[in-house]
Amino acid sequence: MSDAPQNLSRRNLLRGAGAFGAISVLAACTSNEAEPEPAATTAAAATGEATGDTSTEAVAQDSGPAVTIGFSAPAADHGWIAAVTDNAAKAAESFDDVTFVATEGTNDVNDQIAQVETLINQGVDVLAILPFDGAALTDVATQAMEAGIPVVNIDRIFDSPQAYRSYIGGDNYGMGVSAGNYIGQRLTDEGVENPVIAEIAGIDNLPLTQARSQGFADALDTYGFSVTARQAAEFTVESGQQVTANLLQAEGEIDAIWNHDDDQGIGVLAAIDEAGRDEFFMVGGAGSANAMREIQEGNSVLEATVLYSPTMAGSGINMARLIAQGKGMDSLVELEVPASITTFSAVVTADNVEEYLPLGFES
Amino acid sequence: MNDTATTLDPESTSGSSSISLGDRLTGLQNLGLVAVLVLAFVTGWLTAPENFLDANNFLTILKSAAVIGVVSVGMTFVIIGGGIDLSVGAIVALASVWGTTLASQNMGLGGMLTAFILVGTATGLVNGVLIAYGKIVSFIATLAMLVSARGLAQYISGGQTQVVEVSAFRSLNNGDVFGVPNLVVMLILVAAIGWVLLNRTTFGRRTFAVGGNGEAARLAGINVKRHTMWLFGLSGLACGIAAIMIVARTTTGSSTHGELYELDAIGAVVIGGTSLAGGRGTIVGTILGVLVFTVMTNIFVLNNLTTDIQNIAKGVIIVLAVLLQARAQRGSDAAAHS
């Protein structure tokens, strides 16, 4: 430093200019707006619109009294949660009698509790909450209910039924069952004896992963099959790639793979691609638009995916609105919104992918 | 930029003595690790005989080791220089996202590679400036960078996984040089350049001097601040290269890439015999440390072990490796003093 403090010379100017140039080039690189190239983001917009349409069709469109819906969810740090937040916002936008107050997503339960408290203090009419951790937010949701604000609990269930007026969520066990039935049926039809079935799970210590694996094992059992090799990844592309690369080494000949999650599935497919393996078929999980496009194109080992659709958040907003307006659901006889709804894990294959593609989320 | 180096050279003499000592220590230090590796290979061979000793399996192990290996080489420089870089995983994530945006992809292979390298290096240099000239402890500065770089990665990607459509880039992962996969070639190159830089250049000697005794290095005429800044820039550059590799492997850029790399890299560097206090360490040890981890993971998966068992065993093996290290170290210290 001491060598040239006053010598603010051409060299420094050049360095500065160089740095500035590099920064401006880099800044230009952050754009994800699609230029002419056909790309993922445009598909995302299309998906969003279509999703909005379906959710509005499902419920009565007549305007009612104006309601304010407070919404809180974890940070949109991966495709599925991002799609949850997106679906909720789109559903709310489709009603002219709804004011939508969404808090910034967070993975810190303390922050989320504070956010829900703020929403209660603001006096919203109804809350829709996807808690980062159901148990940790049970208390604050109960407070909301006691304060006369009904709570719609999305997906991760609270510990106590006192904490919510209505619950809508996916069926993790059912997801495993759907995947197990699809694989079991196909292998039985093909007459494979003692098939090698591999399972790539998500984060292993989560109850949802355990429920998925249990459902998968139970369903396979009805066909007399069992899982040969099972490894857990971490729901990320990178972990999916890493685990699969090793797993493919362990099993020289595989008949079927179930991968719990389409987000990590991109990595799983990359590893399969790299190893040049295609003697098996693969079933995905959750139903990302990416996975559905692979299924549609039909030249990948990925031949099906079992749904765990983020559209449930859109339905959750619809339910919150109806609850606040004191209405029931049109196609049901009851005058009130049901206390609990579990979505169905449909199997998306080449035969029906057309129909499901608009519901797929960008991972 | 090197104006001090030509005129002042005292550090090269003081540095060279520490290197010859370091060289003497290296062989003994790495013995512990080689023992652990041999143990792991025997275990792999005994438990999964037909799968473990397979050429493809070794390539799989090396390819898994490649990404974290490159990050660890950068980390070795920082730790020898007396600092620590907790932000490596976040920088990998940020670079992977920045280089795979549609705007970057539209510029083709060259644009993407430039973005990876520039973003990695620039982020590392920001760390370096904060630490050297802002006088923030490296633990804190890079902790802050860990949070904000991953945040920025999430902001740019919108929390989505960005799939690479540029075919030239996608073929990077599947290509090879005389049968050695490209990623492994990159690791070997980075490790070799790192070794030369650390052991055969003024920059390397200064790194040992700065980490061993910063005040003495300053008195010897080394510009400690500027050197520290470059060390973090170097770590960032390694992260940029690692980002290229992880994007090639997964065909995606994502803000979830590189999670917990800081732990894996620091773990590998430390069981590789580099002193967390700075001033001592080797590239060879670091690479051996990385291999210990990846070979272990491979053996666990080949034997279809569950995650909980894997984690328990990993912890035990880290302790085992460090204990062996310490033993070898005590032996070599005694030898050095006699």
CATH of the domain at A69: 3.40.50.2300
CA distances from B144 to B24, B79, B85, B123, B277 (A): 38, 18, 11, 12, 21
User: Is the domain of A102 the same as that of A176?
Assistant: no
The alpha-helical segments, DSSP class H, found in A59-153 are 79-93, 109-122, 134-146
Residue-level pLDDT at B250: 87
Residue-level pLDDT at B1: 39
User: Is the domain of A90 the same as that of A120?
Assistant: yes
Each residue's pLDDT tens digit, A151-208: 999 999 998 999 999 999 999 999 999 999 999 999 999 999 999 999 999 988 888 8
User: Is the domain of A232 the same as that of A152?
Assistant: no
Residue-level pLDDT at A324: 95
Domain boundaries along the sequence of chain B: 30-330
Residue-level pLDDT at A191: 94
User: Chain B contact for A334, CB < 8 A?
Assistant: no
Report yes or no on A2 lying in a domain. Answer: no
Residue B280 C-alpha from the chain's centroid: 16
Each residue's pLDDT tens digit, A336-347: 999 999 999 999
User: What phi and psi values does residue A61 have, to the nearest 5 degrees?
Assistant: -95, -10
Report yes or no on A350 lying in a domain. Answer: no
Higher pLDDT pick, A17 / B99: B99
Q: Which residues of B touch A75 (CB under 8 A)?
A: 154, 159
Q: Which residue has the tokens 């060279």?
A: B16
Q: How many CB atoms lie within 10 A of CB B168?
A: 11
Residue-level pLDDT at B333: 65
Find, among B235, B290, B232, the residue nearest to B263 by Cα.
B290
User: Is the domain of A251 the same as that of A214?
Assistant: yes
Beta strand pairing call for A256-259 and A229-232: unpaired
CA separation for the pair A318, A59 (Å, rounded): 7
How many domains does chain A contain in total? Answer: 2
Question: Is residue A322 pLDDT above 60, yes or no?
Answer: yes
User: Is the domain of A232 the same as that of A182?
Assistant: yes
Question: Is residue A262 pLDDT above 90, yes or no?
Answer: yes
Amino acid sitting at position B39 = L
Beta strand pairing call for A197-201 and B162-163: unpaired
Report yes or no on A204 lying in a domain. Answer: yes
Of the ranges A220-224, A352-356, B297-301, B322-326, which one carries the lowest mean pLDDT score? Answer: B322-326
- pLDDT mean over A23-33: 75
Q: Give counts: helices (H), strands (E), chain A.
A: 12, 12
**CB A167 within 8 Å of CB A340:** yes
Q: How confident is the model at residue A4 (pLDDT cuts 50, 70, 90)?
A: very low
User: Is the domain of A164 the same as that of A180?
Assistant: no
**CB B173 within 8 Å of CB B248:** yes
User: Is the domain of A143 the same as that of A209?
Assistant: no
**Which residue is closest to A244 within chain B, CA to CA?**
B301
CA distances from A81 to A234, A265, A312, B159 (A): 15, 16, 11, 9
User: Is the domain of A132 the same as that of A213?
Assistant: no
Of A81, A205, A363, the CB nearest to B161: A363
**Are residues B98 and A204, on separate chains, in Cβ contact within 8 Å?**
no
Q: Which residue has the tokens 């995983």?
A: B89
Higher pLDDT pick, A55 / B47: B47
**Are residues A26 and B122, on separate chains, in Cβ contact within 8 Å?**
yes
The pair of structure tokens assigned to A36 is 């002419």
Report yes or no on A316 lying in a domain. Answer: yes
Q: Which residues of B51-84 are buried (b: 16+ CB within 10 A; e: fewer)?
A: bbeeeebebbbbbbbbbbbbbbbbbbbbbbbbbb
Please report which helix (H) or strand (E) contains residue A306, including its range: strand A302-307
- pLDDT mean over A20-41: 64
Amino acid sitting at position B158 = G
Q: How confident is the model at residue A223 (pLDDT cuts 50, 70, 90)?
A: very high
User: Chain B contact for A30, CB < 8 A?
Assistant: yes
Amino acid sitting at position A123 = G
The alpha-helical segments, DSSP class H, found in B133-181 are 138-157, 167-174
Question: Is residue A315 pLDDT above 80, yes or no?
Answer: yes
Q: Which residues of B270-286 are buried (b: 16+ CB within 10 A; e: fewer)?
A: bbbbbbeebbbbbbbbb
The pair of structure tokens assigned to A259 is 């991968």
Residue-level pLDDT at A44: 39
Report yes or no on A74 lying in a domain. Answer: yes
**Are residues B302 and A238, on separate chains, in Cβ contact within 8 Å?**
no
CA separation for the pair A247, A267 (Å, rounded): 13
Report yes or no on A24 lying in a domain. Answer: no
CA separation for the pair A241, B249 (Å, rounded): 8
Of the ranges A140-154, A208-222, A327-341, B31-45, which one carries the lowest mean pLDDT score? Answer: B31-45
**CB B275 within 8 Å of CB B281:** yes
Report yes or no on A280 lying in a domain. Answer: yes
Distance from CA of A309 to the nearest CA of B (A): 16
Q: Is B253 left (phi over 0), alpha (psi -120 to 50) or beta?
A: beta
- What's the pTM? 0.77
User: Is the domain of A210 the same as that of A123?
Assistant: no
Those residues of chain B that have pLDDT short of 50 are: 1-20, 22
Burial of A56 (0-12, 13-18, 19+ CB in 10 A): middle
User: Chain B contact for A232, CB < 8 A?
Assistant: yes
Residues facing residue A279 across a β-bridge: none
User: Is the domain of A246 the same as that of A129?
Assistant: no
**Are residues A249 and B54, on separate chains, in Cβ contact within 8 Å?**
yes
User: Is the domain of A160 the same as that of A181?
Assistant: no
User: What phi and psi values does residue A27 have, to the nearest 5 degrees?
Assistant: -60, -40
Q: Which residues of A touch B227 (CB under 8 A)?
A: none
Find, among A283, A294, A235, the residue nearest to A81 by Cα.
A235
Higher pLDDT pick, A15 / A269: A269
User: Which of B102, B150, B162, B244 would you mutate first to test chain A, the one with the most A CBs within 10 A?
Assistant: B102
Range of the domain at A160: 40-169+311-342
Report yes or no on A360 lying in a domain. Answer: no
In the predicted model, what is the mean pLDDT of chain A?
Answer: 87
Each residue's pLDDT tens digit, B10-35: 444 444 444 445 455 555 667 778 88
**CB B177 within 8 Å of CB B187:** no
The DSSP 8-state label assigned to residue B277 in this structure reads: T
User: Is the domain of A240 the same as that of A317?
Assistant: no
Q: Give counts: helices (H), strands (E), chain B.
A: 16, 4
Q: 80-119 in A: which are within 8 Å (CB) of B?
A: 81-82
SS3 call for A148: coil
Q: How confident is the model at residue A49 (pLDDT cuts 50, 70, 90)?
A: very low
Burial of A149 (0-12, 13-18, 19+ CB in 10 A): buried
User: Chain B contact for A213, CB < 8 A?
Assistant: no
For domain B30-330, give the CATH number: 1.10.3470
- Percent pLDDT > 90 in chain B is 51
